[in-house]
Each structure stands twice: as C-alpha cells, then as structure tokens.
Structure 1
C-alpha cells in the first residue's frame, strides 16, 4: 500500500492501544504502523483535549477517542538531510537548514522537518517553536524559540522587519537590466507582494545571474513565483 488516510472513532469493543487499533482497521502491519507513529503520521484526539501526534504504539484508547493515520510510504521512506545547531542563546537557538529538509511537518509526518530534529536534539527537555520558515528546496538559517514569550517577541520583530531575512539565489538569464528599481511589485493570490532584488553578477557562460533578495511581504513561495513571473526562474 502506497498511501492511505483513515480517521475512525474508537468503539467499546475495539482494541485498547493505538497500534493494535490501526493494524486491525488498515492493511498495514504493526511494524509499518509503529514506523508511521514514530515519524508523526498518526494523530489522536481524546474526548477532552486537542488533536496531537500520537507516537507511542502502546498509547491507550477509550471509546469516543478519534484516531487518524495519514500514511505515505514514499514520504516515510525518506532519510532526510540533517540540520545543525550553530548557536544556542537559551531562549532561542539558530540552526542551519539544508536543502531537502522541511521547516515543519505535515499531517503525513514530521520526521523530514527541522522542527522535529530540534525536538529530538533537546530530547523533549525544551520546548521548540518555529519562528519563520524556509521552503524545502532552500538552505539557510532558521531561528527557533524555546518558550512562548520568546516566540511571540521574535515573531513581532520579524513582522516589524526589525529582523531582516536575506536570500541568495541563482536565476536564469541576465537580470542586470531586467528590473527597473530592483523591485518586483506583483500581486500573489490577490494580495500585494514586494520582492527587492540586487544582482551580484551575471555569468555569461551559463547565462545565469546571482542575486541577493529581500522580501517585504511573506506570500507563499514568493521568491520563486515572483522571479518566474518576470521570466527569470530560480535554477
């Protein structure tokens, strides 16, 4: 089985542990269910409480609980690249996220995410909050907070642009004369979006430009979409 989604409410005569419950109601073996649980693809909602990832195979169930599994064999089989912590300031830390690693997980799992790697690094002894994100394809520095107050304060600094994120990219073509004012001011998803681009150099041999970028708005995939729109896609 390559992919499946199942959400089921626990009945009075159903198995009392998460792994047994899911192996009974799916075609997955207990080994595959356990692997999916460890990698964050199983969710549990108790009658009183919020839905959360359920990682323990022996997690107890009661009638009325709701258990969900989002199984993607291809995703669960990935061995993600490893992130690296380069600074720890107590209430926040700075990490290098390599290309190919997500910033945070999805309902199908979180083992391919920086957030999960950081949580495992601290062995659940410290809270981990994602302050900003980088696309999976991008590599760079990511700031993580370790308490709610620090997370809120750091988020506000980003919102007020008192912390500036700068990006470097290689794009197709000669961008030197293509952007008057070095700005791309084109709406995305019906919302205003502003990207500032400065050309570092143009490589005539490869017909590509190295550019430095600052985004003044935070639209989804803004850099890639804006550069594609002006005819100079990211390589």
Structure 2
C-alpha cells in the first residue's frame, strides 16, 4: 500500500501581533505544542526559531489536523489572561467545516453534553467523545453556507470549549466532517491510520487526509479595544470545494 507522509503543507503565519500576544494561522498537521519527545514540529517550536529562542505560551490549542487561529502569549501572564477570557466565554470563535450531506435549516443550535465513551465493542478509540447525560455541557451553533452534491460548507460557533466538540456535535446530527477518522463513517479508520498511515484505501472512504475543520475567526476585547483576527479557508479545503462546484468564502 502506498503511504503518504502527512506534513504541514505551508508554514504558519502571524495574523496579528501586539506587545502581549500573537495570533498564528496554523496549518494542518502541525502540533500546537511540542510533544514530550519533542521530535515533531509545533507552533511553539516554530515561533522559538523565528524569534531567536524566545519563549511563548499557548492560550488555546487546536487538534493537529485542524487548521486556523491559535492565540499565543508572549509571557505566562498574558496567556493566563487570555485563558480566563476563554473560560468566561468572552472570546468569540468561528469555524468553517465541510460536512457530508445537506443541512436544510437556516440556523441550528446543538445542545448535547459530552464525555468519554469508554472502550467497548462499539467504540474502539479511547479518546472518542459522545453524548453522556452526566457529561459536560456543550453547545454549538451551526449556520449552513453553501452546498453541492454530497457536501456542505457551514460555519460553526462553539459556545463552550469541550474536547472535539464541533466534530462530535456534527457527527451526532449525521453530518460528520469530511476526513474525520474518529467521528466519520467508521472509528476503526483512526486505528488503521495509526497503524498503517494514510493510503488509497482510507482516501477512498474519507476523501481528505485530514478533517475539514478550520478555525477562521477570533473576536474579543483586550485592554479596552475590540480585536478581530481572520484566517481564510486554506488551499486544501478551498480546493476541495472548488472541485465540487462549491464557491469557497473569502474568509
């Protein structure tokens, strides 16, 4: 089986910077934070090299496959302050997602508590989340934008910040994100990918080598000023849409 090495297709870029923090547009397949082994590239590692070894502190993280905006403090105090804004839900976030199927609503609020499902015959992936009555509150608002054929582009507005929240919520309404190995057509695809890497068989079922989720906007107040950072849909996702006759948004 031919396997492809999944590496960041383009470098990170600084979208916004002030004396306290930066906003980085992270490409897919780039870690937010170095692993313990520290042998894979990350946002913090890239910044340290770009800024002559300076230290930086993540205020939020994205999954390795998710692209888009990451907040990075220039010192621990700024990162903590940004983290508190997130905890208080004072940072507005928007994501773009490509999903299977066509949503017929104009606006949908998904309110479903989430937690770990646990390993079982039905769930082979330890990290997988699902609806748990005793789980943490999780709310996502979804607005469809465009559709064509088997796919739709939508905006997702997470009102809480649970693990894999958008991916799980879209899966439970039967519109999973394209390319999602855990919450897509079969969670066993994740185990096959972990064991064998990416290849034609997975490509046939998943269409994309990563889940089609992009953190496109952050908006919040900082020291009395309204700040907004935007990252347009990256080339792999906009190209996927264009191939299927769906015009991607500018941002």
- Name the TM tier (shorter chain): 0.5 to 0.7
Calculate the TM-score normalised by the size of structure 1.
0.60
CA distance in 2, matches of 1:105, 1:114: 8
Instruction: Tell me, yes or no, if structure 1 residue 193 matches structure 2 residue 138.
Output: yes
Distance change (3 Å), C-alpha of 1:199 and 1:174: same
Aligned residues: 154
Equivalence for 1:202? 147
Question: Could you tell me which of 24, 37, 40 is aligned with 1:95?
Answer: 24
Instruction: Return the structure number with greater relative CO, CA threshold 8 A, min gap 6.
Output: 2
CA contact (8 A) 2:6 2:29 kept: no
Q: Which of structures 1 and 2 has the bigger CA Rg?
A: 1
- Displacement, 1:131? 0.5
**Alignment counterpart, residue 113 of structure 1, candidates 38, 42, 67:** 42
Which aligned pairs between 1:120-139 and structure 2 lie closer than 5 A?
Answer: 120-124=49-53, 126-139=54-67
Quote the offset at 1:78 in angstroms. Answer: 7.3
Find the partner of 2:108 among 182, 195, 209.
182
- Superposed, 1:64-103 pairs within 5 Å as 80-81=8-9, 82-103=11-32
Indicate if the aligned counterparts of 1:96 and 1:141 stay in contact, CA closer than 8 A: yes
Q: Is 1:176–1:202's contact at 8 Å kept on the other side of the alignment?
A: no
Post-superposition CA distance 1:150-203 (Å, at most 9, x none): 1121111222222211100111011123x8x61111121122211110111222
Aligned-pair RMSD on alpha carbons?
Answer: 2.0
Structure 2 unmatched runs, 5+: 116-134, 179-251
* Structure 1 SS opposite 2:169: helix
The structure 2 residue matched to 1:230, chosen from 173, 185, 197, is: 173
Q: 1:141 aligns with which of 66, 69, 73?
A: 69
Specify the alignment match of 1:49 in structure 2: none
Asked whether the equivalents of residues 79 and 112 of structure 1 are also in contact (C-alpha less than 8 Å), the reply is no
- Is the Cα contact below 8 Å between 1:110 and 1:116 reproduced in 2? no
Asked whether the 8 Å contact 2:95–2:155 carries over to 1, the reply is: yes
8 Å contact from structure 1 (residues 111, 117) kept in 2: no
